[in-house]
């Protein structure tokens, strides 16, 4: 109960101002929410998720489903603090976020066998996925990244689907068009990406939004599909579509969970998955080659006294961290520099 609130009581290092600190997985907060279309407040999401993770500790962090404790395994995991981002100018904010991701992903990981460190973003609204994908693509030699996207909404909408009397680049950057922007920039693998948990309304009077989504190469898994195929069917659909080799960005909007269980979000849609179902699916896709991830749209002002949305976000982040660590054991058996081994043991 003492000390500053970091995710799972992990060591806190302001990574952007301490480049000498090497790590394998960094938790980075992005307190930004001025690209939302409905209810603001997700700028306080990183703080809420960190507070909700207080019951997670390295000495009681063994994950039975994975047979490992992600906090005491090979990876040095630290809380990197937050990206300093302005709420006054979305164009500048996008530049700040992109520069931060570029800086962190250009650094070597502590484990010599890991090509680069992994980042798990605590949002913030969903627009933070665009700067993350820009930097991940750059870090992978300009190649596109597959996206596995858990959300009630498509988020591949053309910016003109959010009408404005004065069109601008800043207005185009929002939490419903960031994947459209990423697709047009060639950042997303066309034909190997997935939406899961959809139950959104569409624009206009027809299927234009789906047709545009098809052109961007996403497979759509609706919230209702879980009734037909179960969690096992959803898992199989994702694995079949994406495979286990290509780099994947895992993007999790907390509104994929039904608002009866996770009310603290900016664009709630009734009819979503349960927290248990989402976690079961995340556990089932642990073999994906996850190179980056986010948990976004936690907006604590709309949460209840029990802070159920923030708790769900913290648990989802724990499951993603576990998959990152377990995947690292399989893909890149870690080699830690001898000079760092004692440091890692001491910190754990």
Tens-place pLDDT, residues 16-47 = 999 999 999 999 999 999 999 999 999 999 99
Whether 255 and 273 have beta carbons less than 8 Å apart is answered as no
Q: Would residue 342 count as lying in a domain?
A: no
Q: Would residue 336 count as lying in a domain?
A: no
Q: Would residue 2 count as lying in a domain?
A: no
Tokens encoding 126? 């969903």
Tell me the pLDDT band of 337, cut-offs 50, 70 and 90. low
Distances, alpha carbon 204 to alpha carbons 18, 86, 126, 155, 208, in Å: 49, 34, 23, 16, 8
Q: What is the pLDDT of residues 71-110, one digit of tens each?
A: 999 999 999 999 999 999 999 999 999 999 999 999 999 9
Tell me the pLDDT band of 348, cut-offs 50, 70 and 90. very low
Q: Would residue 340 count as lying in a domain?
A: no
Q: Would residue 343 count as lying in a domain?
A: no
C-beta atoms surrounding 65 within 10 Å? 14
Structural domain of 307: 7-331
CA nearest neighbour of 135 among 185, 184, 190:
185
Count structural domains, the chain: 1
Q: Tell me what percent of the residues of the chain surpass a pLDDT of 90.
A: 87
Q: Would residue 161 count as lying in a domain?
A: yes
End-to-end CA distance of the chain: 19
pLDDT at 212: 95
Whether 113 and 22 have beta carbons less than 8 Å apart is answered as no
Q: Would residue 347 count as lying in a domain?
A: no
Which residues line the annotated binding site? Answer: 126, 151, 153, 155, 253, 255
C-beta atoms surrounding 229 within 10 Å? 14
Q: Would residue 58 count as lying in a domain?
A: yes
Q: Tell me what percent of the residues of the chain surpass a pLDDT of 70.
A: 95
Whether 347 and 11 have beta carbons less than 8 Å apart is answered as yes
Q: What is the pLDDT of residues 153-195, one digit of tens each?
A: 999 999 888 776 667 788 899 999 999 999 999 999 999 999 9
CA nearest neighbour of 296 among 277, 275, 310:
310
- pTM equals 0.94
To 5 degrees, how large is the angle CA 220–CA 248–CA 313?
Answer: 75
Which residues line the annotated binding site for Mn(2+)? Answer: 126, 151, 153, 155, 253, 255
CATH assignment at residue 40: 3.40.800.10
Whether 30 and 46 have beta carbons less than 8 Å apart is answered as yes
Q: What is the pLDDT of residues 269-289, one digit of tens each?
A: 999 999 999 999 999 999 999
Q: What does pLDDT average to over the chain?
A: 93
Q: Residue ranges of the alpha helices (H) in 243-307?
A: 275-284
How far is Cα 343 from Cα 348, in angstroms, rounded to an integer? 9
């Amino acid at each position: 109960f003492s000390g500053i609130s970091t995710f799972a009581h992990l060591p806190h290092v302001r990574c952007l101002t301490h480049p000498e600190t090497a790590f394998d997985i960094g938790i980075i907060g992005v307190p930004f929410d001025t690209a939302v279309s409905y209810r603001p407040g997700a700028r306080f999401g990183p703080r809420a998720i960190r507070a909700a993770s207080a019951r997670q500790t390295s000495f009681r962090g063994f994950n039975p489903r994975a047979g490992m404790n992600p906090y005491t395994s090979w990876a040095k995991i630290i809380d990197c603090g937050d990206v300093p981002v302005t709420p006054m100018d979305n164009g500048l904010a996008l530049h700040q976020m992109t520069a931060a991701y570029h800086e962190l992903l250009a650094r070597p990981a502590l484990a010599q066998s890991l090509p680069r460190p992994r980042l798990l973003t605590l949002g913030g609204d969903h627009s933070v996925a665009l700067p993350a994908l820009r930097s991940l693509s750059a870090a992978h030699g300009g190649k596109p990244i597959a996206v596995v996207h858990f959300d009630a909404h498509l988020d591949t909408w053309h910016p003109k689907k959010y009408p404005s009397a004065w069109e601008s680049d800043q207005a185009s950057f929002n939490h419903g068009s960031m994947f459209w922007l990423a697709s047009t920039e060639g950042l997303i693998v066309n034909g190997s990406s997935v939406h899961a948990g959809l139950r959104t309304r569409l624009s206009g009077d027809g299927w234009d939004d789906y047709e545009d989504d098809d052109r961007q190469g996403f497979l759509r898994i609706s919230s209702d599909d879980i009734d037909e195929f179960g969690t096992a069917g959803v898992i199989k659909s994702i694995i079949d579509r994406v495979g286990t080799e290509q780099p994947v960005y895992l993007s999790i909007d907390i509104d994929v969970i039904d608002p009866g269980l996770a009310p603290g979000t900016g664009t709630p849609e009734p009819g979503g998955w349960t927290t248990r179902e989402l976690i079961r699916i995340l556990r089932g896709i642990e073999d994906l080659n996850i190179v980056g991830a986010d948990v976004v749209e936690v907006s604590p002002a709309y949460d209840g006294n029990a802070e159920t949305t923030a708790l769900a976000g913290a648990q989802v982040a724990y499951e993603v961290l576990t998959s990152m660590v377990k995947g690292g054991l399989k893909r890149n058996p870690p080699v830690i520099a001898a000079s760092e081994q004692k440091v890692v043991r001491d910190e754990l």
